[in-house]
Structure 1
Amino acid sequence: MGKFYFFLWLRWAVRLSLCSLILASIVSLSITIIIYINQGMRPLNSEVILALQNLFKFWFPISWSLALLIALFRALKYIFNTKIYGYELKLYSCDLKDVLKEIGYGDLVKVWRKWFMLMIWLVGSLMILALFFTYIFTSFHSVFSWFSIYWLFTFILVSGYFSFMIMSHRCKRVKIVKC
């Protein structure tokens, strides 16, 4: 069962990472190009390239924050009906009688809300632990001095592993089936 959870989490983490990073890069690059075009498309020299890089670096964490929410919703669909080491996670219909073979995004809304609240609690717990250890072992005394989207993403990845273990107990429509 441990291998099942680990490889389920690993597939989810890779999908979440790639989807969110690619979407954030596309959005940041699009914003950078739009700003470049609106500013008159000056000839590319070292100053203009540096300014474009700074624009991209500015917009990337902001767009990643939004892309991460979209990727969290989309990535949940792909954890179901995948056989991993003799187990699979099944999503049942609302009446709990039928297993959904084809899972649409509409089927995930209630499950995603419960799972997302679980993730919020787990991430919050990790943040409290991290703040406690940071306060004791480092010179930082505030969460805002070290916390960023990069740390949040790390906390989300760690919390995702534990959320899959709790998910089948928390949500009645999700069951682990031995195959």
Structure 2
Amino acid sequence: MRADARRNYEQLVEQARIAFAESGVDASLDEIARRAGVASGTLYRHFPTRLDLIEAVLAGQMAHLVDLGHRLLAAEDAFEAVSAWLRAALAHGLTYRGLSAAVMNAALDRETDPVANWHAQMFEVGAALLARARRSGAIVAEADDADVLRMVGAIAWAAQDTPDSPARADRLLTLLLNGLRHGDVRP
């Protein structure tokens, strides 16, 4: 990519990140192009669809979450490690209003879905953290990886449109973590 094209691409991704954080993933693409100092056509040459732009914005964040999870696998306290990672995953889920629905709906029409690949990587590292916490006795043995990760996604969805969204999400995640740590699970 030429230097000016690379600069335009990076500006579009940065301005999209800001606009999505402010207005959700339905933010105006023309406004994103304007903020980046480029014409709308330039945006569409780099990102033919809204999902292409969303994927570019998410790439670094998803890689960071996966990397954080791998680093936390070496942490001394297994419960604190899984708690820190789940909090980071929840914070990511709260960042862009409407993200889950946009990604799921658009991904159904694609043959290759980078977001699905990132989620698989996140599930893998989240499952490894949960397995480590189960083995150490830090969380209940019955804690199912998929269920715990779905609950974190559900917390993000439930809290996203509330006035106290980060605080509410934190309270809900604390309840989940307390249940994992001190839960009385019955069949």
Q: Same fold (TM over 0.5)?
A: no
Bigger-Rg structure (1/2): 1
Q: What TM-score do you get using the length of structure 2 for normalisation?
A: 0.28
Could you say which structure has the higher strand fraction?
A: 1
| Length-normalised TM-score, structure 1 | 0.29
- Structure of higher RCO (CA pairs closer than 8 Å, 6+ residues apart): 1
